[in-house]
Amino acid sequence: MKLTKYLTASLLLGTSLTLAACSSSSSDSAKSSGDSIHIGILQYMEHDSLAAAKKGFLAELADQGYTEDDKIVVDYQNAQGDQSNLQTISEQLVADNDLVLAIATPAAQSLATVTMDVPVLFTAVTDPVSADLVDTIEKPGGLLTGTSDQAPIDKQVELLGQAVPDAKTVGILYTTSERNSEVQVEEAKALLEKAGYKVVLKGINTSNDVQDAATSLMKDVDAVFVPTDNTVASTMTMIGELSKEYKIPVIGGSTDMVDAGGLLTYGTNYEALGRQTAKIAIKILEGAEPAGSAVEYPETVDLHVNEEMAKELGIDVSALSVSQ
């Protein structure tokens, strides 16, 4: 009787251990089920520049043979600009994927706090060092690397002078909680003042503040500069309407911002930047370490003019040029 009980207990214990081992193995392989590589994408909010970066990233992966529903499985999440969503989404994406793409600085910062072993690629991040994402541009030193969208602000100031030669006062509209914006504002303010302009700063907290802030600013300045600011970029259509109403040109941080309501930029092509990021991602998927993979700056920077806006504002942009 005792022997029978002992054998029964042993069998039950063995079965439990086997099931536990199977469960653990299943969990470990969930990220790479079958032959597919699981890639998560966390986009901070909805606007054209960030969407273009995602489009370019997936297009380049496909061009290099990493196609959806074949070699990769993509889990795309959008935080809709809500900081409270970022932590929850970040934890889920890191748990379920082999590699994660962060689009915009807040998304990258959130993922950086939760990943322990999953590589994180970022794009549309202006200054990854000051955002505490990497140790240095050349040697990131951790699980994060990617591409910066830093545009040459000195060229944008140069173009402003050509397009609006009589301008004396320039306003800067930006979001105070976005570190990427603060970095650009500091540089733009210094360059504008060096060029002889009076600078008026107008900070906002949310997209709800944009209309009043932009209206107030346009009453007091001759032109407005907007950095590659996520919140401002998402409201560029409205800013463009105010630009027409007050006849105040807006120099945008990116080509997409100009298309949505700005006058001109010498800025980053975000679809090309997404493609550039995908090439880094492929190297990491094929064995490269993020810690030693340098952050890259945009390879494609365009002089981009909104001809319709120029006509509306009565500004001649035919002779614009950028010094090399």
pLDDT digits (tens, 9 = 90+) for 19-30: 333 333 333 434
Q: What is the pLDDT of residues 156-196, one digit of tens each?
A: 999 999 999 999 999 999 999 888 899 999 999 999 999 99
Among 230, 25, 31, CA closest to 119: 31
Q: Beta strand 72-78 with 37-43: parallel, antiparallel or unpaired?
A: parallel
Q: What is the pTM of this model?
A: 0.80
Average of pLDDT values for 37-53?
94
pLDDT score of 277 more than 70: yes
The predicted pLDDT at position 26 comes to 33
Predicted pLDDT of residue 31: 54
| 53 CB burial (10 A radius; 0-12, 13-18, 19+) | buried
Mean pLDDT, residues 287-304 taken together = 95
Using alpha carbons, select from 187, 237, 231 the residue that is nearest to residue 205: 231
Residue 34's pLDDT is 57
Output the six-digit token pair for 55: 């489009």
Determine what percent of the chain is predicted with pLDDT higher than 90.
Answer: 78
Tell me the average pLDDT across 72-101. 96
Domains of the chain: 37-149+269-299 (3.40.50.2300), 153-267+303-313 (3.40.50.2300)
Residues whose CB is less than 8 angstroms from the CB of residue 233 and which lie 6 or more positions away in sequence, other chains included: 47, 48, 49, 50, 226, 253, 254, 256, 257, 260
pLDDT in tens, 187-200: 999 999 999 999 99
Range in 6-10, 39-43, 59-63 with the lowest mean pLDDT: 6-10
Radius of gyration of the chain (CA): 24
Average pLDDT for 140-145: 98
Q: Worst-scoring range by mean pLDDT, 41-45, 108-112, 285-289, 319-323?
A: 319-323
- What is the per-residue pLDDT for 6? 37
> What's the residue count for the chain?
324
Reply yes or no on whether the pLDDT at 263 is more than 60: yes
User: pLDDT of 219-241, one tens digit each?
Assistant: 999 999 999 998 999 999 999 99
Q: Are 244 and 313 in contact (CB under 8 A)?
A: yes
- The whole-angstrom separation of Cα 136 and Cα 134 is 6
